[in-house]
């Protein structure tokens, strides 16, 4: 298993095989933030654990070679974080990203470029917001027959607020490409929430969809559980945990760790 542990923007532990080339550049006069570069040359899986007890600021570049399937799981804990991603996919490559966030404030900007035919990018983000969080995501289809599926799920508690700005672009000539966005925020406070799903499509022979929902659970969902003797608070908790687990593909041990972390939020 490939694994990185990043503490306060510094790589403290790394277990990597030959499928991943890692370069870490600490901030200096040329770079204002620490830079983490990951080049994936063979199909593999990587777990990255971030722990911050002070404000974080990190730049991450990920390049996936031709015919490579890359699975990335990122788990973030700690205080306010700022991160910028540059993802690049080559011909016949695929990149499946799963992000599980438990941070006190987040500012994330990501750019994903599908640069080769048949490249596929699938992203699932789960976050529990206790303070302000803002995400700006751009997915650019620079080749034919490419596919992107973006799922963003957030839950607001305490003083949390979430903004999702998601832009998908298919230029002219990038035929038979697919672009999907699914954004949902469950809010349990009166703080600001906003979803801006943007599709910039200049080609007719494509599939492009988006959805955006902000609010609480439907009354019929709660009623179903309450009619079976479950208290409203417990029913809400069960539905919320189910929402935060949905669409994830985690190994059993990692899923158990994630569920234990979810339990701590509602204690």
Same domain, 86 and 155: yes
Please give the residue range of the domain that contains residue 36: 2-216
pLDDT tens digits for 171-220? 999 999 999 999 999 999 999 899 999 999 999 999 999 999 999 988 88
Same domain, 240 and 205: no
| Burial class (CB within 10 angstroms; exposed 0-12, middle 13-18, buried 19+) of 237 | middle
Domain stops at, among 198, 216, 234: 216
The rounded distance, in Å, linking the Cα atoms of 51 and 62 is 20
**pLDDT tens for residues 127-183?**
999 999 999 999 999 999 999 999 999 999 999 999 999 999 999 999 999 999 999
* Domains held by the chain: number: 2
Do residues 66 and 118 share a domain?
yes
Strands of the chain (E only): list them: 2-7, 10-15, 20-25, 34-40, 44-52, 56-64, 69-78, 81-89, 94-103, 106-114, 120-129, 132-141, 147-156, 161-170, 177-187, 193-201, 206-215
């Amino acid at each position: 298993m490939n694994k990185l542990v990043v503490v306060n923007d510094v790589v403290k532990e790394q277990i990597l095989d030959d499928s991943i080339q890692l370069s870490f550049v600490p901030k200096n006069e040329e770079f204002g933030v620490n830079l983490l570069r990951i080049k994936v040359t063979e199909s593999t899986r990587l777990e990255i654990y971030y722990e911050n007890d002070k404000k974080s600021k990190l730049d991450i570049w990920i390049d996936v070679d031709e015919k490579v399937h890359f699975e990335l799981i990122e788990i973030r804990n700690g205080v306010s974080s700022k991160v910028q991603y540059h993802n690049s996919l080559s011909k016949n490559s695929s990149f499946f990203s799963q992000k599980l966030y438990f941070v006190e404030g987040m500012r994330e900007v990501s750019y994903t470029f599908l640069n080769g035919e048949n490249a596929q990018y699938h992203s699932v983000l789960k976050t529990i917001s206790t303070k302000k969080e803002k995400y700006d995501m751009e997915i650019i289809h620079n080749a034919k027959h490419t596919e992107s599926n973006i799922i963003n799920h957030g839950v607001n508690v305490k003083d949390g607020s979430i903004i999702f700005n998601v832009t998908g672009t298919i230029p002219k000539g990038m035929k038979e490409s697919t672009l999907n966005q699914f954004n949902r925020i469950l809010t349990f406070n009166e703080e600001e929430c906003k979803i801006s799903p943007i599709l910039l499509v200049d080609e007719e022979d494509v599939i492009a969809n988006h959805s955006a929902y902000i609010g609480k659970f439907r009354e019929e969902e709660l009623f179903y559980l309450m009619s079976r003797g479950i208290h409203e608070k417990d029913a809400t908790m069960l539905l919320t945990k189910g929402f935060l687990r949905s669409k994830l593909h985690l190994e059993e041990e990692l899923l158990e760790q994630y569920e234990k972390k979810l339990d701590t939020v509602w204690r």
